[in-house]
Amino acid sequence: MTGQRKHGKAQGAQGFAPEESTAPVARGLVPRSNGGQPGAPKETIRVGVSACLLGQNVRYDGGHKRHDFVARELARLVTLVPVCPEVELGLGTPREPIRLQRAGGALRLVAPGSGAGHTEAMRRFSEERVSELERLDLSGYVLKKDSPSCGMQRVPVWRGEVATRTGRGAYASVLMTRLPLMPVVEESGLRYASARARFLERVFAYFRDRRRAG
């Protein structure tokens, strides 16, 4: 681990092996990774998640954004791997809010109040953290929308005091560049049962394909 990681990781992975689920949304979608044989070892499907969606108090204001489906239903189906890039980078909780800011041609991650810049530190942290996640062999990821670190799309990018929704969070950008085929969704994309089922199908298919290829 390099000196970039100033704080511990978000609280540990949670969840259960997929066969234990009775959640209606995924009934019939769970892969029989043990071949259905009694006593055969269960394989774990791991899905990364923005830690605040699990109810962890890691947001800049000391709060969370618990998402009921993710924290309860998804956690029964897969092993969730929570990550809060800002806390793990060492920005603390509570902390000064940060945002994406366009300065000339460059996109920066800054705290507008103090003017502190976090662009390079976040990039280095993200590369290192994604390397760890690659070794965990994630099969999907649920990101927190609108976050300058975690947002997948349409994140506000500020130029002066005007924002346009054209950005991607600094951590999410590294994650999605390094793992371009892994299913990724924002929590806002899991509002409806059909969308939840589609995401789960993609996660399980990705998991199966990697097992076959491996």
Residues that bind ligand SF4 (CB under 6 A): 50-52, 58-59, 84-87, 144, 147, 149-150
Question: What letters, b where the CB count within 10 A reaches 16 and e where it falls short, cover 61-94?
Answer: eeebbebebbbebbbebbbbbbbbbbbbbbbebe
The residue (of 144 and 196) whose beta carbon lies closer to ligand SF4 is 144
Alpha carbon 140 to chain centroid, angstroms = 8
CA dist 162 → 102, 156, 157, 158, 197 (Å): 10, 9, 8, 6, 37
The residue (of 73 and 86) whose beta carbon lies closer to ligand SF4 is 86
Q: How far is the CB of 150 from ligand SF4 (least distance, A)?
A: 3
Q: What is the C-alpha separation between 69 and 54, in angstroms, rounded?
A: 10
The residue (of 51 and 75) whose beta carbon lies closer to ligand SF4 is 51
Give the relative orientation of helices 119-136 and 170-178 as an angle to the nearest 10 degrees. 40
Q: How far is the CB of 128 from ligand SF4 (least distance, A)?
A: 16
**Spatial contact of 20 and 10, defined as CB atoms under 8 Å apart:** no
Q: How far is the CB of 62 from ligand SF4 (least distance, A)?
A: 10
**Spatial contact of 139 and 46, defined as CB atoms under 8 Å apart:** yes
Q: How far is the CB of 213 from ligand SF4 (least distance, A)?
A: 30
Element holding 140 (H helix, E strand): strand 140-143
The residue (of 21 and 101) whose beta carbon lies closer to ligand SF4 is 101
Side-chain half-sphere CA neighbours of 38 within 13 A: 0
Q: How far is the CB of 171 from ligand SF4 (least distance, A)?
A: 7
The residue (of 163 and 205) whose beta carbon lies closer to ligand SF4 is 163
- Angle CA 12–43–131, to nearest 5: 50
The residue (of 78 and 150) whose beta carbon lies closer to ligand SF4 is 150
Q: How far is the CB of 45 from ligand SF4 (least distance, A)?
A: 21
